[in-house]
Amino acid sequence: MSQGEPGIELDTSLGYMLKAAASALHSALEAVLRPLGMTITHYSCLELLAQRPGLSNSELARGAFVTRQSMNVLLQALERQGLVVRPAQAPVGRALPTELTALGRRQIKMASAAVRRVEQDMLANLNAGEQDQMRRLLAACIASLTEPPASAT
């Protein structure tokens, strides 16, 4: 663990730890969602719609961190299953505002509770101040990665 070595120091690399944490969260979420017959993206889509009804396919894709093509496939499946509805024609532009059905709302309710439990597990050993700090730090990382073009003023 000296520093003269080439490459990144895995055990202390924040990039690696971030990936490790995301992976652990991913696995934990999969574990609780599988019994409900849902995948993580499936859940993400429904959760987004529960909180922001009327989102379009592209907006959902950005919110769930997948391409709009992937989200489109998922939405078509969810539509077939009667969990969401989309108008046949766009009220404006091409965007089709999506809404949850009653069935969809029932599904997301169960899933959301399970996901909340996982998140609480994850934060079990962090007090409120530490959680705030973590929000700050993650937000800073996201910002730095997202808008690095905003340099060289």
Partner DNA sequence: TGACTCATGTCAGCAGTCTGACATACGGTT
Partner DNA sequence: AACCGTATGTCAGACTGCTGACATGAGTCA
Site for a second copy in 13-42 (CB under 8 A): 13-15, 17-25, 27-29
57 is a site residue for DNA (CB under 7 A): yes
39 is a site residue for DNA (CB under 7 A): yes
Binding mask 105-134 for a second copy (x = CB under 8 A): ---xx--x--xx-xx-xxxxxx---xx-xx
Find out whether 92 and 106 touch, Cβ atoms under 8 Å: no
Stretch that binds DNA, among 3-11, 13-21, 61-69, 142-150 (CB under 7 A): 61-69
Q: Using CB distances below 5 to 8 A depending on partner kind, what does residue 57 bind out of a second copy, DNA, none? A: DNA
90 is a site residue for DNA (CB under 7 A): yes
Which three-class secondary structure string do you get for the chain? CCCCCCCCCCCCCHHHHHHHHHHHHHHHHHHHHHHHCCCHHHHHHHHHHHHCCCCCHHHHHHHHCCCHHHHHHHHHHHHHCCCEECCCCCCCCCCCCCEECHHHHHHHHHHHHHHHHHHHHHCCCCCHHHHHHHHHHHHHHHHHHHCCCCCCC
Given 28, 32, 50, 66, the residue binding DNA (CB under 7 A): 66
Q: Using CB distances below 5 to 8 A depending on partner kind, what does residue 79 bind out of DNA, a second copy, none? A: none
Question: What's the closest the beta carbon of residue 19 comes to DNA, in angstroms?
Answer: 12
Which residue bears the tokens 């997301």?
A: 108
Given 88, 92, 145, 152, the residue binding a second copy (CB under 8 A): 145
